[in-house]
Amino acid sequence: MNIVIKALEPLLAADFFDFFDNRAFTDNSPEGPCYCQRFQMTREKEGAAIGGMLRQYGGFENALKHGLADILRELARQQIVSGALQGYLAFVDGISVGWCNVNDKANFPKESANRAKLYAPAEKREKIVVCFEIAPEHRRKGIATALLQRAVDDARAGGYAAIESFPQRRDGRYEWNFTGPVQLYKKAGFVIVNERENDYVMRKELTCA
């Protein structure tokens, strides 16, 4: 299977939404509907954006008719255009089948809308792997590994000092593990640097290319 990894850019927005609309969460994952937009915004900005859309649609009932997914989709579209949402799409036979949110820590708010705390000052030159979503029929075929390797390679080439992740603490395999399993990161050379109540902080030091 030929896996092609491409960095997200506005020209790939149609492929991003094609994946999330047609192949992601088709196994009834509790993470859907999602367009990976919450990490890049504060609760205040999310509330203001949704409030603005409620006004645009003429109130809550009309907004519900329009669809919550459409509101989240529009927030993601705006983030793609502005560059706030970054990461990689995986393609097989020209079709987008996987996604990984990877970004400079400095591009995140100090606390995201979902209460994640991913921010670090720009001078630290650190990236973070936030999440994965792979189409169910393409899992366990090396796609997450390819996405992660591209993220590491680009971070190193970009002069970043390190790249981190925060996989969940689980004893066994979990189908909907959106942050990626510990073993995936270990195979890529990440090491556990902190153990928290629900997850680990894993880190890979980088040497500039």
Q: What is the pLDDT of residues 45-70, one digit of tens each?
A: 888 877 777 677 776 566 666 667 78
Query: pTM score, two decimals?
Result: 0.89
d(CA 165, CA 49): 28
Q: What angle do CA 30, 36, 37 make, to 5 degrees?
A: 125
Looking at residue 49, its pLDDT comes to 76
Cα atoms found within 13 Å of the Cα of residue 73, Cβ hemisphere only: 14
Looking at residue 86, its pLDDT comes to 98
b/e sequence 138-165, b meaning 16+ C-beta within 10 Å: beebebbebbbebbbebbbeeebebbbb
The CATH number linked to 44 is 3.40.630.30
Structural domain that includes position 161: 3-205
**Would you write out the chain's pLDDT as a tens digit for each of its 209 residues?**
799 999 999 999 999 999 999 999 888 877 777 899 999 999 888 888 777 776 777 765 666 666 677 888 888 999 999 999 999 999 999 999 999 999 999 999 999 988 899 999 999 999 999 999 999 999 999 999 999 999 999 999 999 999 999 999 876 666 668 999 999 999 999 999 999 988 999 999 997 54
Burial class (CB within 10 angstroms; exposed 0-12, middle 13-18, buried 19+) of 181: middle
Q: What angle do CA 18, 23, 28 make, to 5 degrees?
A: 135
Nearest Cα to 142, choosing from 203, 74, 90?
Answer: 90
56 touches 65 (CB < 8 A): no
Q: Determine which helix (DSSP H) or strand (DSSP E) holds 61, and give its type and residue range.
A: helix 60-66
Looking at residue 70, its pLDDT comes to 80
Looking at residue 209, its pLDDT comes to 46
Size of the chain, expressed as the number of residues it contains:
209
d(CA 204, CA 152): 9
Looking at residue 64, its pLDDT comes to 60
Looking at residue 172, its pLDDT comes to 62
d(CA 171, CA 100): 23
Total structural domains in the chain?
Answer: 1
d(CA 153, CA 43): 32
Cα atoms found within 13 Å of the Cα of residue 53, Cβ hemisphere only: 20
DSSP 8-state symbol, 193: E
Instruction: Name the token pair of 61.
Output: 């009932």
106 touches 122 (CB < 8 A): yes
